[in-house]
């Protein structure tokens, strides 16, 4: 005979199973009640900034003022880098093809992978590998050199977070580094990852006999590492920031009522590198 589901014990077991089907420590919702990490949402609204809310959602506790200030600075600095940035260009192209804003945003965000958008995560991983060497007793200089050499051996000569194909000196980097130094002086962060990043910068200058300055990915990686974010979250938080620029460009493009714009003007030729004209043989 089939099990009697009206049995109180069976009902209790089913209720327990259903309760654990999705389990989360992030949010607790019941009729008339929404608690985020234990805080009633009405107590957060109007009292907690968006960067603080991001921290609370990802980390479980609210940041102090210095931590929130650094996170906000990294978010502000990364919102946009012009329509030649692939993610921004994709948002405009997608909008001109008729996609709604959410579709254009999704298309653009999907481009933020290892090559475009992944350098921050990769730089945090590089810094963390150097920090691990320092913990074993290596000097900063020795750890930086070994860490850089190991990274290059596994990933190629491109070093994430340093140099820029567009800016001789990234205008965002200096300001962010100054804010990092302020929070080190205030005791908010320890400063180890800032020292590591500057050590990498010094090593590259020595090896290449010319400056290879930190770019925004290198400095925001310092910030995320100093604040204790896992490397993968460095990319996730960058995506939150860049989503603002993506949305702004998609909305601007929407207002221009231009249809089906491609990645390049029709008047500009492209290079065809395939076979010359050929034909099928006739029977």
Q: How many CB atoms lie under 10 A from the CB of residue 32?
A: 5
pLDDT of residue 4: 52
Q: How many CB atoms lie under 10 A from the CB of residue 116?
A: 13
Length of the chain: 283
Domain ranges of the chain: 25-62, 86-256
> What's phi and psi for 128, nearest 5 deg?
-65, -35
CATH fold, domain 86-256, is Cytochrome p450-Terp; domain 2 (1.10.230)
Can you tell me whether residue 57 is helix, strand or coil?
helix
Print burial letters for 58-85: b (CB count within 10 Å at least 16), e (below 16): eeeeebeebbbbbbbbbbebbebbeeeb
Threshold 0.85, pTM exceeds:
yes
Tokens of 222: 């310092």
In this prediction, residue 283 has a pLDDT band, given cuts at 50, 70 and 90, of: confident
Using alpha carbons only, give the angle 54, 102, 89 rounded to the nearest 5 degrees: 95
8-17, 208-217, 258-267, 268-277: least confident range: 8-17
Q: Contact at 8 Å (CB) between 161 and 197?
A: yes
Encode pLDDT of 205-224 as tens digits.
999 889 899 999 999 999 99
């Amino acid at each position: 005979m089939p099990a009697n589901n009206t049995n109180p014990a069976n009902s209790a077991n089913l209720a327990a199973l259903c309760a654990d089907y999705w389990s989360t420590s992030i949010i607790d919702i019941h009729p008339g009640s929404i608690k985020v990490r234990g805080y009633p949402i009405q107590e957060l609204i109007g009292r907690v900034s968006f960067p603080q809310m991001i921290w609370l959602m990802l980390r479980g506790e609210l940041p102090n003022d210095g931590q929130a200030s650094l996170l906000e600075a990294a978010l502000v600095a990364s919102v946009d880098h012009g329509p030649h940035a692939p993610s921004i260009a994709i948002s405009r192209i997608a909008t001109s093809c008729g996609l709604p804003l959410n579709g254009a945003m999704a298309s653009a965000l999907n481009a933020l992978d290892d090559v475009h958008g992944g350098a921050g995560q990769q730089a945090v991983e590089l810094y963390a590998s150097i920090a691990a060497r320092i913990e074993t007793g290596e000097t900063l200089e020795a750890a930086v050199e070994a860490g850089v050499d190991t990274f290059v051996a596994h990933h190629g000569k491109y070093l994430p977070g340093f140099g820029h194909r567009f800016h001789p000196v990234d205008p965002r980097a200096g300001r962010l580094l100054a804010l990092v130094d302020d929070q080190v002086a205030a005791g908010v962060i320890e400063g180890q990852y800032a020292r590591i990043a500057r050590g990498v910068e010094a090593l590259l200058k020595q090896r290449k006999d010319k400056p290879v300055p930190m770019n925004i990915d290198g400095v925001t990686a310092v910030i995320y590492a100093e604040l204790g974010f896992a490397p993968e979250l460095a990319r996730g938080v960058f995506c939150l920031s860049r989503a603002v620029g993506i949305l702004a460009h998609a909305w601007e493009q929407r207002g221009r009522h231009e249809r089906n714009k491609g990645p390049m003007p029709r008047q500009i030729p492209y290079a065809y590198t395939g076979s010359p004209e050929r034909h099928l043989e006739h029977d």
